[in-house]
Amino acid sequence: MASIESEANRNHYAAIAANAGRLTSPQAIIDHNDVHWTALTGEPRGVDYIEVDAGGVPAMWVMPKGADEQRVLFYAHGGGFIGGSIYTHRKLVGHLAKAVGCRALVYDYPLAHQAKHPAQLEAAMAAWNWLVDQGFDPRRIVIAGDSCGAVLTYGVLQRLRAQGRPLPVATLIISGWFDMAMTAASYETNREKDPAFAKAGVDWLAANFIGDADRRDPEVSALYADLSGFPPVFLQAGADETLVDESRMFAERARQAGVETRLDVFDGMLHSFQMMAGRAPEADDAIARFATWVRPRLGLPAAGGKSSERAA
């Protein structure tokens, strides 16, 4: 049974749906998210934030006290390409980086009213190139994102592979948006459970992002990508969200491609419920699962243990 605290996420999406007619400009949507989405997340203690220019891309170092400085979580925030920023997501990334025990870099990109695809992916690649140019080894980088951040995460992986460059060591995805063709059955089966992501609304988000481009282009819909050779992936989704079957379908495609894959679906939860980290037990549990899974892949010890590889 969902906790009382977790209702904040459901109430947030219900409020977005109720206010949809009033949020009539891109800036109104941005402002609403800045105020209300950010407030869902508890402030993680012992985390510093430093804004940087990452190859021309606004970004933020998220640095937990005592964290390993050579290992990095490279994070693409969600928001449907109409909202979200390094500021709305800094606390979520702070909780995740703190649990893993490494620093993180969360980056911004143009929203859809500013530029259409592939401008967002180009920003993601610029931030990745900047990170690697700072001397960070891809074998000590985890690439991650929530919602539309999955588009950029797998876009970066595809471009790196096409260029013959080293890939990060692992992937973490929260409520991934994998299929702009919108073939998931959960758009109907969860239609009454999810107050925010009706199929018509997601269709508008896709058109707003890519215009008349191919909805099955692998760079915007990773469900149709060649996933062979990609790093292990841990996917999380809420059982009540309309996008949940996209994660299920993607997990099956990844397994068929030989990718080590884990998918955890959380009962009673909606889209990106991990934004309630520090306030709701379900979100804290999800963050802890990510950390337990990814730490050994980064060569970091289990909590309270010793590393098999000395941090350097």
Active site residues: 147, 241
Q: For residues 118 and 128, what is the distance between their CA atoms, to the nearest angstrom?
A: 15
Pairwise CA distance, residues 148 & 91, whole Å: 18
What's the distance, Cα to Cα, between the start and end of the chain in Å?
43
Torsion over CA of 193, 196, 197 and 198, rounded to 10 degrees? 80
Tell me whether residue 126 is exposed, middle or buried, using C-beta atoms within 10 angstroms of its C-beta: 0 to 12, 13 to 18, 19 or more. Answer: middle
How far from the centroid of its chain's Cα atoms is residue 289's Cα?
Answer: 15
Strand order, beta sheet including 68-76: 47-53, 58-64, 102-107, 68-76, 141-146, 170-174, 233-238, 261-266
Provide the CA 224 distance to its chain's centre, in angstroms. Answer: 19
